[in-house]
Every structure is written in C-alpha cells, then in structure tokens.
Structure 1
Amino acid sequence: MSRRALRGVLGIALLLILWEGVARGFALPSYTLPSVSEILLSVWRQRQLLASAAWFTMAEALAGYAIGCVAGIGIAVLLSLLPPVRRGMMPAMMAINSVPVAAWSPLLLLWLGVGIASKIAAVALAVGFTVFLSALAGLDRVDRRTIGLMRSFGAGPLSILWRLRLPTALPLIASGMRVSTVRSLIVAIVTEMLGAYGGLGWIIYQAVVQIDFVSVWSAILVASALSLAFFGLIGAIERRVVFWR
C-alpha cells in the first residue's frame, strides 16, 4: 500500500473513531447521529437488501456514465472540428448545463417512467456535460503554431485531431471522467429518491418515510463505499493510460 493510500485509510479510521466517540460520549439519539457501530450492525442485518440495491444503483450509474462519457467526448470533438456549429450551439448547451440535474429529474421521470431508463438518462446528462467541458477545454489547449506546422506538412483536420489534439486533451478528459464517477452515483441516488422500483435512493426514501434514520445512514455508508471504489478504479486506469502526466 502506498503512503498516500495509507494516509487516506488512517484518516478515515480516525474520523470513524471520532464519530463513534462523539455519538456515544454525548449519548446522541439515533435520529441525530447514530454511532458507527450501530450503522455497521444495521448494514450487516440488511446486507442482502443493501447488496441488491447497491447493484441496482451501480448498474444505473455505470450505464449512464458510459453513455455520458462517449457523448461528451464525441460532441466536444465534433464542435472542435466545426467552429461555426460550436458558436451556435454553445449558448444553448451552457443554458441547459446551468440547470441542476435534480431539476430535470421530474421531467425525465415523466418522459421515461420510474424505471431504470430515467436514472440512466439523468446520469448521462450530468456526466456528459462534465466530460464535454473537460474535453473541449483540453482540445483548445493545443498550441496554434504546432497546428500550423502540421498543416504545412500536409496534415488534415482528422490527422491533427488524432495525432495532436486528442493526446493533448487526454489528461483533462481523464480528470473529467474521474470527477464524474462520484457525480454519477449522486445523480442516480437522487433520481431514485424521486421515484424508483429499487436502489439505494429508494431505500433512503423508504427509511425516511418510516423514520428509520439508522437505515438511512446504512444506505449512505454503502453509497459512499461504492463512490470511493468507483473513483479509485477510474483513477487507477487514468494513471496507467495517462502515464506521462
């Protein structure tokens, strides 16, 4: 284990110990702040339900994440190759992006229903814009003099894109994809809370209705573990692919 990972584990352990001490030392009620041991016990008791819900939410997040990444990178590449189209579309795209995804969720539920399709669409929308802006910024980082030099040797737009612009943009694209991992799970859970047949968001909503706040914390803990694992996986892939960074 690297020093960085070890510091992260120790930091989380210290936080959990402090949390346990505060909750037990001040005898806080469960609806205010349950102890870590109480939450872990709840996770163990509901492990089958939480595992099923976690797979459901993760499937939505992964599908939306993949669609959003492909769409975001594809649109960024298209607009970088067609400046007139970019000037016409950017104001509309920024206007759409300025509205929080949670505000679009009721419309997506109305259009696509409370099934998995609306959750995938919401995640794809959130991830797509994040990756799109990162990719577009990366494609714009290319030195214009280098582009002019390649053109002088007969390189066309697609050759310049493949050999120069995409490699230059890759670090920013990877950063956008890494940041989007957490956002994908957040959006999936929030959309599930507005209407779903399953998932961690649905469990959180049902637990709040039943005033079972320990179950709320249990679902949040599982969601946090999924986010950290997803973030770490994409970060590891990024370090291998963008090795020169």
Structure 2
Amino acid sequence: MSAAVMASPSLAAQRGILGAVLLVAAWEGLARGLDLPSYVLPAVSDILASIWSNRMLLTQAAGYTLFEALAGYGVGCLIGIALAVVITMLPPVRSVMLPIATAINSVPVVGYSPLILLWFGIGVASKVVMVAMAVSFTVFLSTLAGFDRVDRRAVDLLRSFGAGRFKILFRLRLPTALPLMLTAMRVSTVRSVIVAIVTEMLGAYGGLGWIIYQAVLQIDFVQVWSAIFVASAISLTFFGLIGAIERRILFWT
C-alpha cells in the first residue's frame, strides 16, 4: 500500500514530463512545418535561443518579479490567516468584515492597479500590495471555511475539559483547517506571479512584465515569449515547492 502511494507522485511526474515533451514537439513541428511568423507563434527553439542570448537581462528581471511575488505572497498569507482567526475568535465581527472583504474581492485585482500605482508609486511597493490583495482573500476564505468545518461536538468536548478559545483554536480548529489553508496557499503561488507581472506591465522599473511590455512596443514577439517561458518556470517551481511543503505537513493525507 505504502509503495503504491510513494510511486504515484513519481508516475504523475513522469506523465507530466512526457506531456510537456509532446507539447513542445508539436509546437516546434507546427511552427516550423507551417512556417508561422513570430507574431503568430514562434518556434520553441527560437524562444530558447532568445532566452540564452538574453539570459542576464531575463535573470535580473526574474529576480525582480520573484521578489515582488514572494513578498506579496507572504504578506497576503499572513493577512488572510489573521482575518480568519479574528472572525473565528470574535463571531460578531463576521457580519461586518465578511461583506466588506467580499465587496473588495468582487472587483478584479487589476481594477485597483491605477489607485495602487498612484498611492505607492511604480516601484516594488505597489506590486507587493497588489499581490497581497490577490492572495489574502483566497487564503482568508479557505482558512475560514476550514475553521468552520470543525465538529461542534468536538468543540463542546474540549470545553468540557476546560479548554479555552485559544486552546480550541490551536488544538482543534487549526489542524482541521490545514488542508484547505495549504491548498489555498498552493493555488495562490501562481496567482501571485501573474498579478506581479500584470502590475509591472502597467508601470514598473523592471521585472518580467516590464520586459513583456517593452518587447511588445518593439514588436519583438520572440522576446515576449521568452519572458513568458521564464515566468512559467518561476510559477511552476513556486507551485511545486509549496506543494512539497504541503505534502510534508499533511503526511496523513
């Protein structure tokens, strides 16, 4: 049984790699076979060559974007978890905070970009704020749903043994909420990179989004795809890292 469980992630990884290889081969064959122009679909080999020739620029831009995504991700996770804890510990606050949070999230994050850029400038701070906004609501809702999944009878049992609110939170609610919380944190990894790049395209001093914007102005579509490939690599690595941490923490699942 354990051997099958251990083998399944490896098998899934092999299938994922095989699928990626087939996709790249089909992409390359389609672009070369139909002689597609670069603005329609450049060949993968051309994109990889562009990445290599511009590796210093792309590495610097990737570091810039990754810092924004990680900082915003960390702040967003802390805010989301903290809000869920506050609402759980103070039930009367739920009727006030939940509608406000829902109203804020009902507008796409990009819609706040002009205001955030105006308030925080086009530097790193505005990107961190935007990423934090995008991540915090996802983590907040999932964590709150996890806290609410606790069996009421288990809560009453702990209270009968003299457990207070904080002991119930850390001994019962938090372990129950961990699967949903960590899933939201894993999903938010990709969202954090996307929001950072989109905000950079609207105004920045550097980053992959800035490179994409400049490449579009220069009609260099191979460079656009180069930045997209690098951004995808960052997102997949970030996603895989949080996923590995999730599996390590939730070993019983």
> Is structure 2 residue 133 aligned with structure 1 residue 150?
no
C-alpha distance in 1 between matches for 2:252 and 2:147: 17
Aligned residue identity for 2:105: N
Shift of 1:76: 0.4
C-alpha distance in 1 between matches for 2:76 and 2:189: 11
Shift of 1:129: 0.6
C-alpha distance in 1 between matches for 2:197 and 2:231: 9
Question: Which residue matches 2:118?
Answer: 110
**Candidates 57, 62, 77, aligned match of 2:65:** 57
Question: Which residue matches 2:99?
Answer: 91
> Is structure 2 residue 140 aligned with structure 1 residue 132?
yes
Alignment of 1:41-80 (within 5 A): 41-80=49-88
C-alpha distance in 1 between matches for 2:93 and 2:233: 41
Number of residue pairs aligned between Structure 1 and Structure 2: 245
Shift of 1:81: 0.9
Aligned residue identity for 2:151: D
- Residue 23 of structure 2 aligns to a residue whose secondary structure is helix
Alignment of 1:1-80 (within 5 A): 2-80=10-88
Shift of 1:53: 0.2
**Candidates 161, 168, 176, aligned match of 1:168:** 176
Shift of 1:88: 1.3
Question: Which residue matches 2:3?
Answer: none
> Is structure 2 residue 252 aligned with structure 1 residue 244?
yes
Shift of 1:41: 0.6
Q: Which runs of 5 or more structure 2 residues have no equivalent in the other structure?
A: 1-8
Q: Which runs of 5 or more structure 1 residues have no equivalent in the other structure?
A: none
- Residue 57 of structure 1 aligns to a residue whose secondary structure is helix
TM-score (norm. length: structure 1): 0.99
Question: Which residue matches 2:191?
Answer: 183
Which whole-Å deviations, capped at 9, do the CAs of 1:101-149 have from their partners, x for residues lacking one? 1101111000000000000000001011111111001000000111111
Shift of 1:89: 1.3
Shift of 1:174: 0.3
Which whole-Å deviations, capped at 9, do the CAs of 1:123-178 have from their partners, x for residues lacking one? 00101111111100100000011111111111111110010000000010000000
Aligned residue identity for 1:93: A
Q: CA RMSD in A?
A: 0.8
> Is structure 2 residue 79 aligned with structure 1 residue 81?
no
Which whole-Å deviations, capped at 9, do the CAs of 1:196-245 have from their partners, x for residues lacking one? 00000000000001111110000000000000000000000100011112
C-alpha distance in 1 between matches for 2:114 and 2:49: 34
Aligned residue identity for 2:18: L
C-alpha distance in 2 between matches for 1:242 and 1:113: 40
Aligned residue identity for 1:32: V
Shift of 1:3: 1.1
C-alpha distance in 2 between matches for 1:241 and 1:150: 24
- Residue 2 of structure 1 aligns to a residue whose secondary structure is helix
Shift of 1:78: 0.7
TM-score (norm. length: structure 2): 0.96
Question: Which residue matches 2:131?
Answer: 123
C-alpha distance in 2 between matches for 1:99 and 1:60: 22
